[in-house]
């Protein structure tokens, strides 16, 4: 149990955050460096503030370990995804998905199509990470062959993957938000439709407009043909290889945990590299660690298929650990609580409380670098307040997901932003304008709250829900 001589004030709590963000901005924007050192510096400053407030070194050290422990499941999945990417490339599975994708998807509709496919897959399996690590990787290859900017493709993949993740009853974040707020799971999902479905519609319309620039005239059909031919020369392309990702999707959809399902995918990819692609056992083993290496002379194809492996994810793993160390100190020494408590004073009504919750979840994503914490911490902070305002718990659960689950992708040092960079190869600042669903939903949710749309409240002891809730009735 951590003890301190005095409570940490708001000013003290803001010091490490301001230092970290300032140094982070200088490092990334001016020096074009990596976020590791700013996060380490922020952790040092946070530790000094905590020490001054009465925490001893053992307390501070324990808070770091708690933060790292929370990230361990994500670290394991990140490493497995690196191995699955390598094995699926070596086994010709990714090449097969890209090859047939080039045959059936129109360039002008590619962004819309890949977004819908990722949404359906993620909705089926409840995992945005698994969707991006499999379907998303293939989608990046198809988009590259069609001449579509990587940032656009990544944005469409992310939008689709997070729609399914957010709305799936199999999703961990969906179950977490409903469980922490004591909301019926399907009531929670139904209530999220207010903001999430319009957000997806806006995203699809935007992708349709963007895609028109890649229909015919701006696309080199010869380049697509050369890419397809080069893949046929480098890999054995067979529709039977599509059974591998299909099996992994089925396993997760049948509630097999992500880690065993990914391990099955890795083993099947390994076997495909050895027995289908007729590669050596040694090369297949090396692919799992160092990734697959392709040298054809075609720069785009070589860059596309030279990737994956456990080693490729070490940057991502190290950043995740560093970020969670910083977040652990902020949360478990009470700094985050000091900040959120002050924010809570701004919420005087339902119309102010819901936007405050969304912004608090975004703030937690920035400071604690983990989307699960962005759901857990605000849920603890605001649960009693929602009850005092006579608001049904599903208002809170929806706000947590709108502000926590979706905005995590915009923070480069958040575990989600780090995973996407390691998997899709696109930085958060690059894909951010194109991850339309992820910023449209929080904005819509805030607008609807101010307008009183879709607020579910308790009146005279009964649960009621009007399209336009009157704040006067909310206590």
Pick the closest to residue 143 from 204, 100, 98 (CA basis). Answer: 98
Is residue 286 predicted with pLDDT exceeding 50? Answer: yes
- Cα 255 to chain centroid distance, Å, stands at 20
Note the pLDDT of residue 297. Answer: 81
State how beta strands 462-465 and 456-459 pair: antiparallel
* Average pLDDT taken over every residue of the chain: 85
Question: 7 pairs with which residues across the strands?
Answer: none
Note the pLDDT of residue 100. Answer: 84
Distance in angstroms (rounded) separating the CA atoms of residues 144 and 165: 25
Highest mean pLDDT: which range of 376-385, 408-417, 450-459: 408-417
How many beta carbons lie within 10 A of that of residue 433, not counting itself? 11
pLDDT digits (tens, 9 = 90+) for 62-118: 999 988 887 788 788 878 888 988 999 999 998 888 888 777 778 889 999 999 999
Distance in angstroms (rounded) separating the CA atoms of residues 343 and 351: 14
- Both tokens of 348, joined, read 């005087």
Is residue 253 predicted with pLDDT exceeding 60? Answer: yes
- Both tokens of 138, joined, read 């293939």
pLDDT digits (tens, 9 = 90+) for 357-385: 999 899 888 887 778 878 877 887 788 78
**pTM of the predicted protein model:** 0.77
Percent above pLDDT 90 for the chain = 37
| Overall size of the chain counted in residues | 475
Average pLDDT over residues 305-317: 85
- Both tokens of 387, joined, read 């009850």
Pick the closest to residue 196 from 171, 231, 162 (CA basis). Answer: 162
pLDDT digits (tens, 9 = 90+) for 26-76: 887 788 778 888 889 999 999 999 999 989 999 999 999 988 887 788 788
186 and 169 Cβ atoms separated by less than 8 Å? yes
Average pLDDT over residues 131-159: 90
Distance in angstroms (rounded) separating the CA atoms of residues 128 and 45: 34
pLDDT digits (tens, 9 = 90+) for 183-199: 888 888 899 999 999 99
Note the pLDDT of residue 389. Answer: 83
370 and 349 Cβ atoms separated by less than 8 Å? no
Average pLDDT over residues 331-336: 86
Distance in angstroms (rounded) separating the CA atoms of residues 8 and 2: 13
What is the CA angle 470-471-474, rounded to 5? 105
C-alpha Rg value of the chain to the nearest Å: 23
Note the pLDDT of residue 470. Answer: 42
pLDDT band at 465 (very low <50, low <70, confident <90, very high): low
Average pLDDT over residues 114-128: 84
pLDDT band at 170 (very low <50, low <70, confident <90, very high): low
DSSP H or E stretch at residue 413? none
How distant, in Å, are the alpha carbons of 1, 13, 380, 429 from that of 333? 11, 10, 16, 30
pLDDT band at 134 (very low <50, low <70, confident <90, very high): confident
| Higher-confidence position of 64 and 348 | 64
Q: For residue 475, count CB atoms less than 10 angstroms from its CB and return exposed for 0-12, middle for 13-18, buried for 19 or more.
A: middle
Note the pLDDT of residue 315. Answer: 81
Distance in angstroms (rounded) separating the CA atoms of residues 363 and 405: 12
| Higher-confidence position of 225 and 77 | 77
DSSP H or E stretch at residue 120? helix 110-125
Distance in angstroms (rounded) separating the CA atoms of residues 319 and 73: 15
């Amino acid at each position: 149990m951590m003890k301190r001589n005095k409570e940490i004030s708001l000013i003290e709590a803001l010091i490490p955050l301001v230092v970290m963000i300032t140094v982070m901005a200088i490092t990334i924007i001016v020096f074009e460096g990596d976020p590791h050192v700013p996060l380490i510096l922020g952790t040092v400053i946070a530790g000094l503030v905590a020490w001054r407030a009465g925490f001893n070194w053992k307390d501070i050290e324990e808070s770091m370990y708690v933060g790292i422990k929370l990230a361990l499941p994500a670290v394991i999945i990140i490493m497995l995804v690196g191995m699955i990417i390598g094995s699926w490339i070596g086994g010709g599975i990714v090449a097969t998905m890209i090859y047939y994708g080039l045959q059936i998807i129109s360039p002008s509709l590619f962004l819309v199509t890949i977004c819908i496919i990722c949404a359906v897959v993620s909705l089926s399996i409840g995992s945005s990470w698994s969707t991006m690590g499999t379907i998303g990787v293939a989608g990046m290859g198809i988009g590259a062959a069609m001449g579509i900017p990587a940032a656009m493709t990544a944005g469409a993949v992310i939008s689709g993957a997070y729609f399914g993740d957010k709305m799936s009853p199999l999703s961990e974040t969906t179950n977490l938000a409903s469980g922490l707020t004591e909301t019926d799971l399907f009531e929670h999902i139904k209530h999220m439709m207010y903001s999430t479905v319009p957000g997806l519609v806006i995203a699809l319309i935007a992708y349709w407009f963007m895609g028109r620039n890649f229909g015919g005239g701006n696309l080199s059909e010869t380049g697509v043909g050369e890419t397809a031919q080069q893949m046929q020369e480098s890999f054995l392309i067979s529709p039977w290889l599509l059974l591998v990702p299909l099996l992994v999707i089925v396993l997760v959809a049948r509630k097999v945990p992500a880690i065993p399902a990914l391990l099955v995918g890795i083993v099947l990819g390994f076997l495909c590299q050895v027995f289908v692609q007729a590669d050596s056992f040694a090369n297949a083993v090396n692919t799992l660690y160092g990734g697959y290496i392709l040298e054809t002379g075609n720069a785009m194809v070589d860059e596309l298929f030279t990737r994956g492996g456990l080693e490729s994810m070490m940057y991502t793993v190290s950043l995740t650990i560093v970020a969670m160390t910083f977040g652990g100190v902020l949360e478990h020494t009470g700094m985050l609580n000091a900040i959120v408590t002050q924010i809570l004073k701004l919420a005087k009504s339902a119309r102010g409380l819901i936007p405050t919750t969304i912004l608090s979840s975004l703030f937690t994503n920035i400071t604690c670098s983990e989307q699960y914490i962005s759901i857990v911490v605000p849920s603890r902070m605001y649960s009693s307040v929602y009850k005092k305002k006579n608001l049904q718990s599903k208002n809170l659960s929806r706000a947590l997901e709108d502000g926590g689950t979706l905005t995590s992708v915009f923070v480069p040092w958040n575990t989600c932003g780090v995973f996407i960079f390691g998997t899709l190869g696109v930085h958060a600042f690059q894909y951010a304008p194109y991850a339309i669903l992820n910023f449209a939903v929080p904005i819509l949710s805030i607008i609807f709250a101010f307008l009183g749309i879709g607020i579910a409240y308790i009146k005279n002891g009964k649960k009621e829900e009007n399209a336009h809730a009157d704040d006067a009735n909310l206590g």
